[in-house]
Amino acid sequence: MTLTLRSIAKTFAGGTRALLPTDLQIEQGEIVSLLGPSGCGKTTLLRIIAGLETPDPGATVRFDGEDVTALPVEKRQVGMVFQSYALFPNMSVRKNIGYGLKMQNLPKAEIAARVEEVIALCRLEPYADRPVTALSGGQRQRVALARAVAPRPRLLLLDEPLSALDAALRGQLRDELALLLRSFGITAIFVTHDQDEAMAIADRVAVMSHGRVVQIGTPEALYRNPATAFVARFVGAAMPLGGRIEDDRLHLPGGALPLASATVGHQAFVRAEDVRLDPDGALAARVETVTFLGTHYRVALSGATEQPLFALHSGLSAPAPGDSVRLSIAPGAILTLPTEDRIA
C-alpha cells in the first residue's frame, strides 16, 4: 500500500506543537523508520497514521489514494505493535492472534487456519495455548507482531517494538524482526530512538527532531551525507571538531587539516572510525584512555580539538594513556554542515 501524508501537524491541548506540518510518501512494500530522540514527534506521527490521534485541521492521510483522515482506527485496517505490546491478558496466545480475524467475521475454520499459519511463521508453536501472561518479553513481542499481521492489514505500524526488551535480546530480535517484516512483504513504519535498529530494519529512515522530519533517505545516504549537524550526530554519532574554517583548511588547537570543500560559518564533524593514529598526521594529541573492545580499541584523545575526540584503532596493540600521538583525518571524512542554530 502507498501511504501519502500531506501537512500532518498536531497541536496538543495547552498549545504544545508536537508535530509541525509534515509531508511524507511511503511506497508499497517499503519499510520506513521514524528515528529521533524522545519528544521529537515520531510517536505522534505514527499514531496519526494509525488513526489513534486526530491531526490538526488541513491534514490528509491517504491509503492508496483513498482519504482515510476521518476514519477511526478500527476502520483503517492497520496492524499495530505497541511498545508495551498491549496483549489481552484475558486471552491465550492463539486467541490474541485470532482476535483481528474474529473481528472480520470470518468462518471459524478459516480463522483457525490463518492463525496456525501466522503462529508457524513467527515460530510460536510451543506457546500457542499458553496465557500471554506466562510468556517472556521476546515471546510477547512476537505474539504482538503475529497478532498485528494476522488480519493482513494494509499497513503495519510498530511503536518502539524492541525497547521493552533487554539489550542482548534486542540485538537478536532486531535481525529477526527485519527478516520477518521482509517475509510479510507488507508496507511498514516503525518508530525508534535507536539508530542501529533503524539502520538494521528500514529501507529508508526519516530522522525527526523537534516535531519535523529533518532528513529522509536510505541508511547509507543519511550516514554519508547528513543534511544537518543533528542528523550527523544522531546517525553514526559524529563528533563536532570545533576550530575555524579558513582557506580550505580547518584550524584546530592540535594543527590544521585540509578540507575537501569549505563553507565559512559551517561546523566540522568527524566520526570516530575516520580518526586515524598516524605518525605522519597533521594533528598532535595526547592519549587519555584506551578501551579494548575486541575488534578494535576506542582511544580518547585530548589536545587535538577543543572537545574530547575519540578514535577507533584496529591493530594488535594500542598506545598507552599519556602517550603523545599524531592523528590524520582524510579530507573527505570531514563533514561540514550548517550549525544547529541555523536550522532551528
Partner 1 sequence: MLKSPAKLLQLLVTLLACAFLFVPTVQSVLAGVTANYFRGLSSGLTLKWIGEVWTLYSASIFLSIWIALACLVVTLIIGVPAAYALARNPGRLSRVLEEFISLPLAVPGLALALALLQLYGGYTEFRTSWAFILVGHVLYTLPFMLRAVLAVLAAIDLKTLEEGAASLGAGPARRFVDVVVPNALPGILAGALTVVTLSIGEFNLTWMLQTPFTKTLPVGLADSYASMRLEIASAYTLVFFVMIVPLLVAMQWATARAQRILQ
Return residues touching partner 1 (CB under 8 A): 50, 52, 72-75, 77-80, 82, 84, 86-90, 99-100, 103-104, 147-148, 151, 157
Quote the least distance from Cβ 91 to partner 1, whole Å.
Answer: 8
DSSP 189-239: EEEES-HHHHHHH-SEEEEEETTEEEEEE-HHHHHHS-SSHHHHHHTT-PE
Quote the least distance from Cβ 145 to partner 1, whole Å.
Answer: 13
CB nearer partner 1, residue 84 or residue 263: 84
Helices assigned H by DSSP within 79-156: 93-103, 108-121, 137-149
CB nearer partner 1, residue 74 or residue 166: 74
CB nearer partner 1, residue 77 or residue 328: 77
3-state secondary structure of 98: helix
CB nearer partner 1, residue 147 or residue 170: 147
Quote the least distance from Cβ 86 to partner 1, whole Å.
Answer: 3
Choose among 41, 42, 117, 51: nearest CA to 80.
51
3-state secondary structure of 261: coil
Burial of 90 (0-12, 13-18, 19+ CB in 10 A): exposed
Give me the residue label for grid cell 492497520: 78
CB nearer partner 1, residue 54 or residue 104: 104
Quote the least distance from Cβ 137 to partner 1, whole Å.
Answer: 16
Quote the least distance from Cβ 103 to partner 1, whole Å.
Answer: 4
- Beta strands 31-35 and 204-209: pairing type? parallel
In whole angstroms, give the CA distance from residue 182 to residue 79: 15
Quote the least distance from Cβ 157 to partner 1, whole Å.
Answer: 8
CB nearer partner 1, residue 75 or residue 224: 75
